[in-house]
Structure 1
């Protein structure tokens, strides 16, 4: 049995929903929105690279991985799967705040 460590809570997205962004300035809100976009793009880029690498391995008959490598890969994919929706939720929250502030001006 592979070790199971809970790297990130599966409730991260729900926790992000509860964040109160009212104390952030407009500039801080923009920075948070941009940071979310950059990290989402970075995670997607990394997953794309990983997929291309696996296809390349298969084409080159590299078919064996150590238990440790598979465990690390599994934890990395699990983290990405948790972070992507959480970052998207946080980005949506910041976008709604930006739109609301623009509407009030």
Structure 2
């Protein structure tokens, strides 16, 4: 189970404006590209709920936990102005993938 690809969905509300959070993410692009085990990252916002988030795919659960530990302890999370009680993190092993004709 430890070697299965792992998906992490992280979402929160921020005391920063959404465009500021997106700017911080953009500035971290090169760091994220070099994150050990990170295969893919999708960032998203929901204007209705004022939620900001990211869906990450890692090579395995160990590397996902490693990233989350750094996110929470090395000050990366606070840079996003996260309102702590709104932070939600879901982690799970990928069981399958369905691709549509137009999905690359």
TM-score range, shorter chain: under 0.3
Q: Counting helix residues as a fraction of each chain, which structure ranks higher? A: 1
Point out the structure with max Rg over C-alpha: 1
TM-score (norm 2): 0.27
TM-score (norm 1): 0.26
